[in-house]
Amino acid sequence: MPETPAAAARQILIRLQEVMASRTSAQAKLNKVVEIIGESLSSEVCSIYLVREGVLELFATRGLKQEAVHVTRMAMGEGLVGLIATNVETLNLDEAASHPDFAYRPETGEELFHSFAGVPIVRRERALGVLCVQHADPRRYEEVEIEALQTVAMVMSELIANAELADDSPTDLRVTDTGTTLLHGLPLVMGMARGHVVFHQPRVHIEHTVAEDTEAERQRVISAFTKMREQIDRMTGAAEFGMEGEHQEVLETYKMFAYDEGWTRRINEAIDSGLTAEAAIERVQQRTRMRMRQIDDPLLSDRMHDLEDLANRLLRIVSGQLGTAAQMGLRQDAILIARNLGPAELLEYDRRRLKGVILEEGSLTAHVTIVARAMGVPVLGRVRDIRHQVNEGDLILMDVTANALLIRPTSDMDEAFDNKLHVTQKRRAEFAAMRDLPSVTADGQRVELMVNAGLREDAQALDMVGADGIGLFRTEFQFLVSATLPQREKQQRLYKDVLDAAGDRPVIFRTVDIGGDKALPYMQREDDEHEDNPAMGWRAIRLALDRDGLMKAQARALLEASAGKILHVMFPMVSEPWEYEQARALVEHQRAWLQSRKKKLPIAIRYGAMLEVPALAEVLDILLPQVDFLSIGTNDLTQFLFAADRAHPKLAERYDWLSLAILRFLDRVAKNCAAYQVPVGVCGEMGGRTLEAMALIGLGIRRLSITPASVGPVKAMIRAIDAAELQTLMRQLLDSGERDMRGRLTQWAAERNIELGA
């Protein structure tokens, strides 16, 4: 084998070009292709399977029994070949039979061979077939060999598609169904929207894969990179988009990818192997997609999406197919449809016309979600195959809060949606009128209503909704959207800006809750192990105490930012009192260090802990005398109490926040805190739902930290209830072991005309 992947692939492509230019049949060409690849990789077996009528058929082979050709068939997902085609992924095994998906086919004679490597033959993001090699001796194929196979597979896709040998994705994807369809997804940015379908972009179809002049192709890519970077530089200008703070950091991270030398190098290596500029970009992009499918960490996956977004942009520039819906302009109120979007692409759209976004992929931590939230554009993600269920111009009604998507609604549905939208706007107006009124119950009991935040701009919500402060500022957000560890000065600037925006209202800073499922690539160590249960793993205070340099820098940033003010700081995921004591001592040590250097300091520090781990409830008698306040994180607490992953679709709705077990647990914590005169609040999603918030008030909890959108409905509920009467009811229900807490509380509210809807 040649020393480099490019040289290996180039050697094969030179021979393949002669085969493809010959006037023989497509079958003869494929027979010759497997011979060339087998010889070049010194592999006893090389086989090509193609998708025909939805089944994978052995189409050509060198090394397996020839009588198996056009006889051996496997369903998609069946065997190693079916797995590669279904998942559009690469496999490289030194012992094929040991893989759980291995399926033995006696007619092929493959029992003689141990090693196996296979790559998908991809066209228009789906597999046309599989190219695989096998060897008698158990060995993993070298990376140089795998990359050569992937390059050859890309060139073969052109031959196979042109000869119409395999099932190909139809060029006309127009949906013939004109009926109403209801779809669901993953709510990413809440809100309601009405508009007509606009597809973000047509796919760029690559017609020519083999280069005639590699140097000319390289120059085309260099020119395209220059043009793309100019576009990104313009788009990341804060003045042009009026965005600062963390949103700007998102775009700066995106810009970092645009200038990534490793990405440029990989594309140039693909050109060296003999591919055209378009094919080289697509070749690297295919590899990125395969890596994305293997990444469990959603944050790393989101960063890979940014890279794919840039690859699409580069591909459109180099091919001259520049038209996106944004560049052509929106002519009416639009709902944008895309597989995924990058943050910069979203910013290209006219905000007056863009009413909503629907994605086939997407996540809560994706950069596009952050930017869409800043723009006030509702987003529904994870809507499977949405691009193939709608036509350009179809009317869509989006209600992200209800996780409902109505495609081609009837006139009655449209009218009902408009009525709900009108009611929602009317209720918002009522909440806005209530903004400056105190959150006091009908019998005069004060309930603090605070908001959860994580960005500099979130502090503006305090005035918009009339909140009492920020009950949870997630400091890790700055770490998650940064390409490198944020410098202490940058952290300090963020904290000071938030405190200044809050004015006299308190801001409770939670120290970084990273690790586990919120892993940061720039903090990974070689000895870090894969975690099967990241939510219960090495994260939050556990990670911070282990890597105390991170926490020391954050403590100094918080202390200096709070100079002349009261600093409220709390530590996440405390399991035992010693963890809290160690974390507090670390902050105090930093305070002493700053004081010794005559630095300005906070006038006071209020320390708190988050109760998310049930074990902490058993040692509150030790912890409470040491803390100034306690916050209950009901999201993690619930999944730990029930041993149920809150992200699991089959379990998400199974365990009710108003179950007797949860409410009795919270009641016990509230009583303990009252005995020690320690303020206790709830800063989980539970407090943002009006019925659940009502139950919490009935347990004696008087501080809720919720999303800004929840403040209005929760305040309206608070001002309508008699807290003393509610507490009596809750005591009766808890003592009696009431099974239908939700029903009884709903009935109690209805009898008193207390509105519980948003």
Reported as a single tens digit per residue, the pLDDT across 417-458 is: 887 777 777 777 777 778 889 999 999 999 999 998 877 777
Round the average pLDDT of the chain to a whole number and report it. Answer: 82
Token pair in block for residue 658: 């108003």
Which H or E run contains 381? strand 379-381
Radius of gyration of the chain (CA): 30
Separation between Cα atoms, residue 279 and residue 269, nearest integer Å:
12
pLDDT digits (tens, 9 = 90+) for 634-676: 888 888 888 766 555 455 556 678 999 999 999 999 999 999 9
Q: Under a CB-based contact definition with an 8 Å cutoff, are residues 263 and 307 in contact?
A: yes
Cα dihedral across residues 261, 262, 264, 269: positive or negative: positive
| pLDDT recorded at residue 481 | 55
Whether residue 174 is predicted with pLDDT greater than 50 in this model: the reply is no
pLDDT digits (tens, 9 = 90+) for 112-131: 888 899 999 887 667 889 99
Max avg pLDDT among 155-169, 400-414, 514-528, 598-612: 598-612
| pLDDT recorded at residue 267 | 86
Q: Under a CB-based contact definition with an 8 Å cutoff, are residues 483 and 497 in contact?
A: no
Whether residue 683 is predicted with pLDDT greater than 50 in this model: the reply is yes
| pLDDT recorded at residue 529 | 55
Separation between Cα atoms, residue 368 and residue 360, nearest integer Å:
13
Coil, helix or strand for 110? helix
Whether residue 305 is predicted with pLDDT greater than 80 in this model: the reply is no
Closest CA to 173 of 332, 382, 387, 418: 387
Whether residue 538 is predicted with pLDDT greater than 70 in this model: the reply is no
Whether residue 722 is predicted with pLDDT greater than 90 in this model: the reply is yes
The amino acid occupying position 560 is E
703 — pLDDT class (breaks 50, 70, 90): very high
Whether residue 415 is predicted with pLDDT greater than 80 in this model: the reply is yes
262 — pLDDT class (breaks 50, 70, 90): confident
Max avg pLDDT among 44-48, 208-212, 668-672: 668-672
Q: Under a CB-based contact definition with an 8 Å cutoff, are residues 227 and 315 in contact?
A: no
459 — pLDDT class (breaks 50, 70, 90): confident
238 — pLDDT class (breaks 50, 70, 90): very low
Whether residue 523 is predicted with pLDDT greater than 80 in this model: the reply is no
- Angle CA 285–649–661, to nearest 5: 145
Give the contacts of 468 (CB within 8 A, at least 6 positions apart). 439, 448, 449, 450, 505, 506
- Angle CA 622–624–630, to nearest 5: 135
Q: Under a CB-based contact definition with an 8 Å cutoff, are residues 329 and 357 in contact?
A: no
- Burial class of residue 288 in the structure, from the number of CB atoms within 10 Å of its CB (0-12 exposed, 13-18 middle, 19+ buried): middle
Whether residue 240 is predicted with pLDDT greater than 50 in this model: the reply is no
Token pair in block for residue 635: 């999201």
Q: Under a CB-based contact definition with an 8 Å cutoff, are residues 471 and 450 in contact?
A: yes
How many helices and strands, by DSSP H and E, does the chain display? 27, 22
CB environment 688-706: b (16+ within 10 A), e (fewer) = bbbbbbbbbbbbbbbbbbb
Max avg pLDDT among 316-325, 660-669, 710-719: 660-669
Closest CA to 148 of 240, 332, 321, 12: 12
Separation between Cα atoms, residue 76 and residue 128, nearest integer Å:
11
66 — pLDDT class (breaks 50, 70, 90): very high
Separation between Cα atoms, residue 700 and residue 667, nearest integer Å:
8
607 — pLDDT class (breaks 50, 70, 90): very high
Whether residue 465 is predicted with pLDDT greater than 70 in this model: the reply is yes
Max avg pLDDT among 9-18, 169-178, 460-469, 738-747: 738-747
Whether residue 527 is predicted with pLDDT greater than 60 in this model: the reply is no
Q: Under a CB-based contact definition with an 8 Å cutoff, are residues 431 and 714 in contact?
A: no
The two beta strands, 470-474 and 448-453, are parallel
Which H or E run contains 748? helix 741-751
Task: Give the global pTM.
Answer: 0.57
Mean pLDDT of all residues in 308-332: 74
Closest CA to 85 of 26, 27, 131: 131
Of the two residues 484 and 414, the one the predictor is more confident about is 414
| pLDDT recorded at residue 229 | 82
Whether residue 494 is predicted with pLDDT greater than 60 in this model: the reply is yes
The amino acid occupying position 61 is T
| pLDDT recorded at residue 692 | 94
Coil, helix or strand for 233? helix
Mean pLDDT of all residues in 750-754: 92
Q: How many CA atoms lie within 13 A of 572 on its CB side?
A: 28
Token pair in block for residue 165: 């040998």
526 — pLDDT class (breaks 50, 70, 90): very low
**CB count, 10 Å around CB of 355?**
22
Whether residue 38 is predicted with pLDDT greater than 80 in this model: the reply is yes
Mean pLDDT of all residues in 403-414: 86
